[in-house]
Amino acid sequence: DEDDLKTGQPEYLLALQNSGDLDEAKLAFSQYKERYSTSPYFFLDTYRYFYGLEEGRDFADDILRTRNDLFIENAVLLKALAYTYQEQGRYKEALELFKDIFILRPHYSQSYMDLAVAYRDAGKPARAAGIYARYQYLIDNEFLKKSEEFAKIIQHESDNLLQLEAESIGADGNRITTDLFVQESTRLVFEWNDNAAEFELQFVNPQGQFYTWKHTFADNAERIQDENENRYSVSEYVLDRSLPGVWKINVNYLGNKSLSPTYLKATTYYNYGTKSQRSEKQVFKLLLKDVNRELFAVSNGSITQ
């Protein structure tokens, strides 16, 4: 819808946000349901809206249940929904979707990391360790191609699991060699559901200086080619320890070769690799193009945000 592309906000979402109570919101949903009956993004948007209302959660689940057919066997859409479940802390539901995506995309490097993280989130660290080991076996035996960029990120994830969950996995945590660059840091991990998405991420430090990472073929062709060959869609950024304080993360979305939105998941890890490590997942729907917008702020060098 062209109006959606101009405002970044579909008409039906504005109607929901302007409703006075749950019944009014349900009425607004029913008025738009027929018009958008074939749009998975309508059902994902409205699910997110109603799930955000504590009394609307059962209705939110019903929305997805009735149009499950729109998501089945579409890895891009399943990933958008899985990200949403992760943001909501619905880790069991997210795990089931990442299992489905793995079956659809067994040759994607990203599928291994997604599934391992999903198992860990769902309280199954041994299963997660098994997925990382399987990935390493496939790399060592050249069944999967090794990407230096992706290898570094998945190694951080695997090391962190073995380091912090050693006891439940039956591993010796003291024997794990971790990357000192990420250890005890504020680590940001960005993932996107559509491999064709182009965007710029801007990291603004507490002094107002910034660094821009350009995820575009024009500016970063080698990186995009590596992603396409090795099938991954993730990037990490470690905040400079010498610059404590509030950092701002901005995005300029440039499109994905279609009119559909891209979903960007940001995971922030505080005190990475320590016993006080904690993480937070946030999901952003990117639709409006060529507008630099703030995604979120991060407090670096502090346990409290």
| pLDDT tens profile 149-173 | 999 999 999 999 999 998 888 776 6
Span 39-65, mean pLDDT? Answer: 97
Helix/strand/coil (H/E/C) assignment for every residue in the chain: CHHHHHHCCCHHHHHHHCCCCHHHHHHHHHHHHCCCCCCHHHHHHHHHHHHCCHHHHHHHHHHHHHCHHHCCCCHHHHHHHHHHHHHCCCHHHHHHHHHHHHHHCCCCHHHHHHHHHHHHHCCCHHHHHHHHHHHHHHHHCCCCCCCHHHHHHHHHHHHHHHHHCHHHHCCCHHHCCCCCCCCCCCEEEEEECCCCCEEEEEEECCCCCEEEEEECCCCCHHHHHHHHHHCCCEEEEECCCCCCEEEEEEEEEEECCCCCCEEEEEEEEECCCCCCCEEEEEEEEECCCCCEEEEEEEEECCCCC
> Is pLDDT above 80 for 175?
no
| pLDDT tens profile 16-39 | 999 999 999 999 999 999 999 999
User: For all residues of the chain together, what is the average pLDDT?
Assistant: 93
pLDDT value at position 172?
65
This prediction's pTM = 0.93
With bands split at pLDDT 50, 70 and 90, how would you rate the model's confidence at 208? very high
With bands split at pLDDT 50, 70 and 90, how would you rate the model's confidence at 191? very high
pLDDT value at position 179?
77
With bands split at pLDDT 50, 70 and 90, how would you rate the model's confidence at 9? confident
> Is pLDDT above 70 for 77?
yes
Span 112-128, mean pLDDT? Answer: 98
With bands split at pLDDT 50, 70 and 90, how would you rate the model's confidence at 305? very low
pLDDT value at position 256?
95
Span 63-70, mean pLDDT? Answer: 94
> Is pLDDT above 50 for 304?
no
| pLDDT tens profile 232-263 | 999 999 998 889 999 999 999 999 999 899 99
pLDDT value at position 215?
98
Higher per-residue pLDDT: 257 or 113: 113
